[in-house]
Amino acid sequence: MVLVLSQPDAGWNGPRGRVSRDLIATHVDDLRASTFFLCGPPPFMESLQGMLTSLAVRSECINRESFGYSRTMGGPAMEAAPPLQATVEFARSDKVCAVPPGKTLLEVAEAYGVDIPSGCRQGRCGTCVTKLLEGDVQMDTEDGLEASDKAEGYILMCVGRPRGDVKVDA
């Protein structure tokens, strides 16, 4: 681990400034075997992702958790569309619930007492991953979802919004 301070006190003897491609290349011995953990606001994350990619770091070795959430899907077209009337069926909990406009599936689960483990509430950590059994769900972001899970029909409840009636394994 290397600590880099952008605005250190006068007594700081470590690296100063911002994380750079040179700093990474200098301090990491084996870029192909190392695991990187990125956490920060979106511009920082995109900058570091680019640096690591330029250093030939494999994407599966880069773990991301962001704060300063911004929607990566949806946008003005989605916001201008009239909200769909939808229900969610929680199969294992034997509950069918109306989904109020703008609410995520996690918010509906919490309102009706359906326990869904969750963490970041931004679609980044993957804690709320749940199998979609029927229907279609739009996710604001898919950062916390592995490609293999998505292919098997899993969704992120914290950023999942139904496009009509859905059934989930919860």
Question: What pLDDT does residue 12 have?
Answer: 92
If one looks up domain 76-168 in CATH, what number appears? Answer: 3.10.20.30
H helical segments located in the chain: 21-27, 42-54, 76-80, 105-111, 147-151
Read off the pLDDT of each residue in 59-79 and give the average, rounded to a whole number.
58
Is 14 a residue whose pLDDT tops 70? Answer: yes
Is 73 a residue whose pLDDT tops 80? Answer: no
Q: What residue spans in the chain does CATH classification 3.10.20.30 cover?
A: 76-168
Span of 13-27, 100-114, 131-145 with lowest mean pLDDT? 13-27
Question: What pLDDT does residue 78 have?
Answer: 43
Q: Which helix (H) or strand (E) holds 162?
A: strand 160-162
pLDDT in tens, 119-158: 888 888 899 999 999 999 999 999 889 889 999 999 999 9
Q: Which helix (H) or strand (E) holds 38?
A: strand 36-40
For the ranges 3-7, 47-51, 154-158, the one whose mean pLDDT is highest: 154-158
Is 71 a residue whose pLDDT tops 80? Answer: no
3-state class (DSSP) for residue 121: coil
Is 15 a residue whose pLDDT tops 50? Answer: yes
Span of 6-10, 36-40, 83-87, 93-97 with lowest mean pLDDT? 83-87
- How far apart CA 112 and CA 93 sit, in angstroms, is 10
Q: What type of residue is 116?
A: I
Is 82 a residue whose pLDDT tops 60? Answer: no
Q: Which residues pair with 148 in a beta bridge?
A: none
What's this model's pTM, rounded to 2 decimal places? 0.56
Question: What pLDDT does residue 76 have?
Answer: 40
- Please compute Rg for the chain using Cα positions: 20
